[in-house]
């Protein structure tokens, strides 16, 4: 039963934020009521922007389209698939292009293929490491000696419960050279984080746990199965990015085979459209262009002030429960007069920004018509390039542009180079072309290029993040009918955001 209702009717629940986390919260609220045979709660979702989906946005481009932010999600974590199933969207999903699988890493002598089966922090196939031109023989031997080196090192701490940075962890296990030329670019290409601050426990949980269990990643990788529990997999998607190069597939609970990564055939925005239509058909009130400005605790729950557009008068309304599915800093602002401890802990979660240059090239400008490019190129920080990574978007999925074109997305900024995000468009575009040419030869310039900037869009899971989240949970528990959802807490990937929304919905439903 609803925990506490206004006017004796069923629950009124406000979801603040219409990104994937907020929308998933609303879907779960409807589904839970259906499952329990209860009257539907009155759910209102408010989103400041005029569009839904938060950072998930698709833009038409020439005779195709391009994702401006996330372009796929993993199927190793079930929640995105489950959401698609709930709204009848499964048949709209397509896998990555098997034929063009693979990825490149920039070296001092051009781009080289990432060794097959290299799983982010664990080499699964030694033959491909030995054959690889990325590392010296000495670095390869150092990697092979991982179990013994670890035993000998003084600061090896078996069973340690202390969090550690990704950089320190990776160097300790695999040596400086493998870290610099292979592991750092792979991980940074995904997190765009500062490797010296990125928390192993929060961002690369599985590997930290593996060490605690077995000491050596190499030894444990020989014995472990690839199954993982749902909760320890905040980084499964990241690990899978590399497993994808090995060509494996995953099987969901129903036994259906899906590719490791899926995307909506017609773009993320079509998925968001499908979710919002489903929500409206199930009685959820969607208010775009509406910013929630103030939360005040009331006897039955929350008195909320929101404003439509910029000029309109504020609306005050009571709700039993509120889910804040906003970035942590936006939640902090709403909570600062209510709970200073909570607001301060939320504010302490740092965010990074990124700029993406989207370019359309003629395919025939690339050797082999670009067939050998794979899905993308990652650039080691040690090469001192402003380019973090380039994703070959049209190689990953069909239908993104004409078959004679190649669509690229080049990433700049991140935690290490925040100033690059503020470069003007021309400088970013020129830099994307120049830097890509350092490693991949092509003749003509792009036919068209566009820049998109994501400011404070990527929460940084610094060392100690998990403890901070525990503190935040503790403070949230002081407020009945309040829950948080979003990418700042227990995983940045789309599936984890959806899970955060589901957990928040369950929490406010009691
Ligand atoms: C460049 C980039 C690439 C990525 N690539 C991938 C990928 O390939 N695969 C993957 O799984 N993940 C990827 N991610 C991560 C993933 O896309 C995001 O973590 C996720 O989409 C965030 O969703 P969210 O709903 O938590 O937050 P957001 O999308 O940020 O939504 C929060 C919403 O809250 C609204 N809001 C804030 N304050 C208020 C207020 N006071 N009142 C009303 N509304 C408010 C905002 O306007 C916003 O729309 C990527 C992220 C980035 C930045």
pLDDT of residue 238: 37
Confidence band (pLDDT; 50, 70, 90) for 222?
A: low
* Burial (0-12, 13-18, 19+ Cβ within 10 Å), 446: buried
Across the range 41-70, mean pLDDT stands at 96
Does residue 62 lie in a domain region? no
Percent of the chain with pLDDT over 70: 89
Calculate the dihedral angle through the C-alpha atoms of 425, 427, 430, 431, rounding to the nearest 10 degrees: -110
Question: CB of 73 closer than 6 A to ligand 1?
Answer: yes
Maximum mean pLDDT: which of 226-240, 324-338, 357-371 = 324-338
Across the range 3-29, mean pLDDT stands at 82
As a whole number of angstroms, the distance between CA 2 and CA 14 comes to 14
> What are the percentages of helix, strand and coil residues in the chain, rounded to 5?
40, 25, 35
For residue 465 the two structure tokens come to 């993040």
pTM above 0.95, yes or no: no
Residue nearest to atom 50 of ligand 1 (CA): 70
pLDDT of residue 5: 45
Same domain flag for 152 and 33: no
pLDDT of residue 300: 81
Question: CB of 57 closer than 6 A to ligand 1?
Answer: no
Residue nearest to atom 13 of ligand 1 (CA): 70
Sign of the four-CA dihedral 305, 306, 307, 312: negative
| Residue 58 three-state SS | strand
Same domain flag for 179 and 210: yes
Same domain flag for 454 and 465: no
pLDDT of residue 155: 58
Same domain flag for 338 and 474: yes
Least trusted range by pLDDT, from 27-36, 153-162, 336-345? 153-162
Residue-range definition of the domain harbouring residue 480: 6-54+268-349+461-509
pLDDT of residue 406: 96
For residue 315 the two structure tokens come to 């609306």
Does residue 274 lie in a domain region? yes
Residue nearest to atom 45 of ligand 1 (CA): 17
Same domain flag for 24 and 133: no
Report the mean per-residue pLDDT for the chain: 88
Same domain flag for 335 and 363: no
Does residue 438 lie in a domain region? yes
The answer on pLDDT for 483 being more than 50 is yes
Question: CB of 49 closer than 6 A to ligand 1?
Answer: yes
The rounded Å distance from CA 72 to ligand 1 centre is: 14
Least trusted range by pLDDT, from 44-53, 292-301, 403-412, 481-490? 292-301
Same domain flag for 123 and 217: yes
Relative orientation angle of helices 20-35 and 494-509, to the nearest 10 degrees: 50
Question: CB of 262 closer than 6 A to ligand 1?
Answer: no
Residue nearest to atom 29 of ligand 1 (CA): 54
As a whole number of angstroms, the distance between CA 493 and CA 30 comes to 23
For residue 504 the two structure tokens come to 């928040």
Across the range 486-501, mean pLDDT stands at 97
Confidence band (pLDDT; 50, 70, 90) for 228?
A: very low
Question: CB of 47 closer than 6 A to ligand 1?
Answer: yes
Residue nearest to atom 8 of ligand 1 (CA): 70
pLDDT of residue 227: 40
Does residue 379 lie in a domain region? yes
Question: CB of 48 closer than 6 A to ligand 1?
Answer: yes
pLDDT of residue 418: 97
Same domain flag for 453 and 357: yes
pLDDT of residue 298: 85
Across the range 201-219, mean pLDDT stands at 87
Task: Identify which of 55, 93, 409 to mutate to test ligand 1's pocket (most ligand atoms within 8 A of the CB).
Answer: 55
Does residue 87 lie in a domain region? no
The rounded Å distance from CA 105 to ligand 1 centre is: 28
Question: CB of 354 closer than 6 A to ligand 1?
Answer: yes
The rounded Å distance from CA 25 to ligand 1 centre is: 14
Same domain flag for 454 and 467: no
The answer on pLDDT for 171 being more than 60 is yes
pLDDT, one tens digit per residue, over 107-144 is: 999 999 998 877 788 887 888 888 999 999 999 999 99
pLDDT, one tens digit per residue, over 391-438 is: 999 999 989 999 999 999 999 999 999 999 999 999 999 999 999 999
Atom of ligand 1 nearest to the CA of 458: 53
Least trusted range by pLDDT, from 21-30, 224-233, 360-369? 224-233
Question: CB of 342 closer than 6 A to ligand 1?
Answer: no
The strand ranges marked E within 98-255 are 103-107, 110-113, 118-119, 122-123, 249-251
Give CA separation, 216 vs 144, 174, 195, 201, 213, in Å. 11, 10, 21, 16, 9
Does residue 89 lie in a domain region? no
pLDDT of residue 437: 95
pLDDT of residue 101: 78
The rounded Å distance from CA 261 to ligand 1 centre is: 19
Across the range 502-508, mean pLDDT stands at 96
The answer on pLDDT for 287 being more than 70 is yes
Instruction: Give me the CATH number covering residue 375.
Output: 3.90.660.20
Across the range 88-116, mean pLDDT stands at 91
Same domain flag for 137 and 272: no
Residue nearest to atom 25 of ligand 1 (CA): 19
pLDDT, one tens digit per residue, over 181-205 is: 999 999 987 888 999 999 999 999 9
Give CA separation, 437 vs 121, 390, 433, 498, in Å. 28, 11, 6, 38
The answer on pLDDT for 7 being more than 60 is no
When comparing pLDDT for 280 and 38, which is higher?
A: 280
Question: CB of 376 closer than 6 A to ligand 1?
Answer: no
Does residue 105 lie in a domain region? no
Residue nearest to atom 36 of ligand 1 (CA): 17
Atom of ligand 1 nearest to the CA of 17: 34
Name beta bridge partners: 176. Answer: none
Instruction: Give me the CATH number covering residue 230.
Output: 1.10.3110.10
Percent of the chain with pLDDT over 90: 71
Confidence band (pLDDT; 50, 70, 90) for 309?
A: confident
Atom of ligand 1 nearest to the CA of 237: 11
As a whole number of angstroms, the distance between CA 46 and CA 191 comes to 28
Residue nearest to atom 15 of ligand 1 (CA): 493
Same domain flag for 14 and 143: no
Q: Which of 97, 133, 185 is nearest to 395 (CA)?
A: 97
Residue nearest to atom 4 of ligand 1 (CA): 70
pLDDT of residue 233: 36
Same domain flag for 418 and 476: no
Domain boundary among 211, 246, 281: 246
Total domains in the fold of the chain: 3
pLDDT of residue 224: 53
Does residue 125 lie in a domain region? yes
pLDDT of residue 254: 35
Domain boundary among 215, 246, 277: 246
Question: CB of 56 closer than 6 A to ligand 1?
Answer: yes
pLDDT of residue 160: 57
Question: CB of 71 closer than 6 A to ligand 1?
Answer: yes
Question: CB of 451 closer than 6 A to ligand 1?
Answer: no
């Amino acid at each position: 039963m609803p925990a506490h209702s206004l006017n004796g009717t069923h629950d009124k629940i406000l979801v603040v934020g219409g990104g994937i986390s907020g929308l998933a919260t609303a879907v779960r609220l409807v589904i839970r009521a259906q499952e329990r045979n209860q009257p539907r709660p009155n759910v209102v979702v408010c989103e400041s922007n005029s569009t839904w989906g938060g950072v998930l946005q698709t833009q038409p481009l020439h005779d195709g389209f391009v994702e401006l932010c996330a372009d796929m999600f993993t199927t190793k974590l079930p929640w995105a698939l489950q959401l698609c199933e709930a709204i009848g969207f499964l048949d709209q999903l397509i896998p990555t292009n098997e034929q063009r699988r693979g990825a490149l890493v920039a070296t001092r002598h051009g781009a080289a293929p990432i060794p097959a089966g290299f799983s982010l922090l664990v080499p699964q196939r030694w033959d491909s490491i030995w054959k690889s031109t990325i590392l010296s023989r000495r670095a390869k031997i150092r990697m092979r000696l991982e179990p013994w080196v670890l035993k000998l090192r003084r600061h090896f701490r078996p069973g340690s419960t202390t969090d550690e940075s990704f950089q320190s962890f990776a160097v300790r296990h695999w040596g400086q050279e493998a870290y610099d030329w292979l592991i750092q670019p792979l991980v940074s290409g995904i997190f765009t984080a500062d490797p010296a601050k990125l928390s192993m426990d929060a961002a690369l949980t599985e590997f930290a746990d593996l060490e605690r269990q077995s000491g050596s990643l190499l030894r444990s990788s020989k014995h472990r199965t690839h199954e993982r529990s749902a909760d320890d997999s905040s980084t499964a998607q990241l690990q899978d990015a590399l497993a994808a190069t090995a060509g494996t597939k995953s099987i969901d609970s129903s036994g259906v085979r899906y590719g490791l990564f899926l995307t909506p055939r017609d773009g993320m925005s079509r998925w968001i459209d499908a979710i919002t239509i489903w929500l409206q058909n199930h009685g959820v009130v969607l208010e775009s262009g509406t910013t929630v400005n103030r939360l005040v605790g009331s006897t039955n729950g929350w008195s909320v002030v929101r404003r439509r557009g910029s000029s309109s008068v504020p609306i005050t309304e009571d709700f039993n429960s509120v889910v804040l599915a906003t970035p942590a800093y936006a939640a902090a602002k709403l909570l600062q007069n209510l709970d200073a401890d909570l607001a301060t802990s939320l504010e302490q979660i740092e965010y990074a920004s990124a700029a993406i240059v989207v370019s359309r090239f003629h395919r025939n400008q690339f050797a082999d018509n670009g067939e050998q490019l794979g899905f993308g190129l990652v650039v080691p920080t040690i090469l001192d390039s402003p380019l973090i990574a380039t994703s070959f978007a049209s190689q990953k999925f069909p239908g993104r542009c004409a078959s004679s074109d190649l669509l690229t997305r080049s990433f700049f900024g991140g935690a290490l180079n925040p100033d690059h995000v503020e470069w003007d468009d021309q400088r970013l575009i020129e830099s994307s072309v120049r830097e890509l040419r350092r490693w991949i030869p092509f003749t003509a310039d792009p036919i068209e290029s566009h820049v998109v900037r994501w400011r404070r869009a990527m929460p940084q899971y610094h060392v100690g993040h998990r403890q901070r989240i525990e503190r935040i949970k503790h403070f949230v528990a002081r407020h009945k009918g309040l829950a948080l959802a979003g990418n700042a807490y227990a995983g940045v990937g789309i599936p984890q955001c959806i899970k955060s929304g589901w957990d928040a919905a369950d929490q406010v439903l009691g």
